[in-house]
Amino acid sequence: MHTLKRTLLVTGASSGIGRAIAKQLLHEGHTVIGSSRDCHQFTVEHKNFSSIELDLAKIDQIPAKLKILEKEFPALDGVIFSAGYGQFGAIEQFSFTQIEQMMTVNFTSQAVITRALIPNLKRKPQSNLIYIGSEAALKGSRKGSIYCASKFALRGFTQALRDECGSSCVRVSLINPGMVKTHFFDRLTFQPGNADTHGLVAEDIAETVIFILNSNNNMVIDEINLNPANKVIQFKK
C-alpha cells in the first residue's frame, strides 16, 4: 500500500457515485477536480477541491477544456470516469437522437477524454484510469439494448486500452457495479428493493476506487465486479 497524494479528475462529481468518490478522495487527502454539467450542484469548501463544467454530450468542447485543465493542474495523474445515465425500453422506443446521446455520454466522451489526457499521463511516474462500468457490460438484458451496448463498448475499450498501456505507467481498471441506490433510478420505472442487501451504496464504489489507487504499483487490477448480497428489483407503480 502507498500513500502518495494524487491529483485526480472525477467526472460526474455532482451526484451519486461520482460525488461519493470525490468526497472519499478528499477525505484521503488527494486533490480532486470534479466535473459536471452544472458545477453549482456540487460546491465543497475544501482547499483540495476544484470544479470544472464539462458537458459530455458536447464532444467538440471537451479537448479544449481539458487542455486548459492540464495547464491549471500540471500534476494531474489520474481520472475516475463515473459520469453516465440510464434509459431503458425496447429499441423502437428510442429516438435516433436518444441512441446517439446515450452512446456519446456513456462511451464516446470517455474515449475522447482518455485520448486528450493520456499523452501527459504516460509521462507521469504513475497514473490511473478508472472507469465505472456496470453489470450491464457483462450480460445483455431485455429493454437494455442501448444501455448495455454503451457499457459493453466501454468494457471492450478498457480491455484494449489496458493492453496498449502495458509498457507504460498507466494502470487501466474497470469497476462493474450492480444496482446502486442513487438518483440514477429516479427517472426509471424500477429500482433496487428496500432492504439494505438489495442494492449497493455509492460509498461501496468509492471504497473500491481507493483500493485500486492504493494497490501495489507493480500490478494492475483489471476488472472488479460488485453486486448486492441479494439482487431484488422493485417496479414502481
Domain boundaries, the chain: 7-235
Residues 6+ apart with CB under 8 A from 127: 77, 78, 121, 169, 170, 171
CA dist list (Å): 7 to 75, 119, 154, 159, 181: 6, 16, 23, 24, 28
Q: What's the CA gap between 13 and 116, in Å, rounded?
A: 19
The whole-number pLDDT of residue 179 equals: 85
CA dist list (Å): 179 to 175, 192, 224: 13, 6, 14
Residues 6+ apart with CB under 8 A from 216: 1
The whole-number pLDDT of residue 196 equals: 86
Contact 83, 42 (CB under 8 A): no
DSSP 3-state helix, strand, coil percentages of the chain (rounded to 5)?
A: 40, 20, 40
Q: What's the CA gap between 51 and 43, in Å, rounded?
A: 8
pLDDT under 50 in the chain at which residues? 1
The whole-number pLDDT of residue 59 equals: 95
Quick one: cell of 167? 509498457
Contact 13, 25 (CB under 8 A): no
| Domain 7-235 falls under CATH 3.40.50.720 | yes
The whole-number pLDDT of residue 1 equals: 44
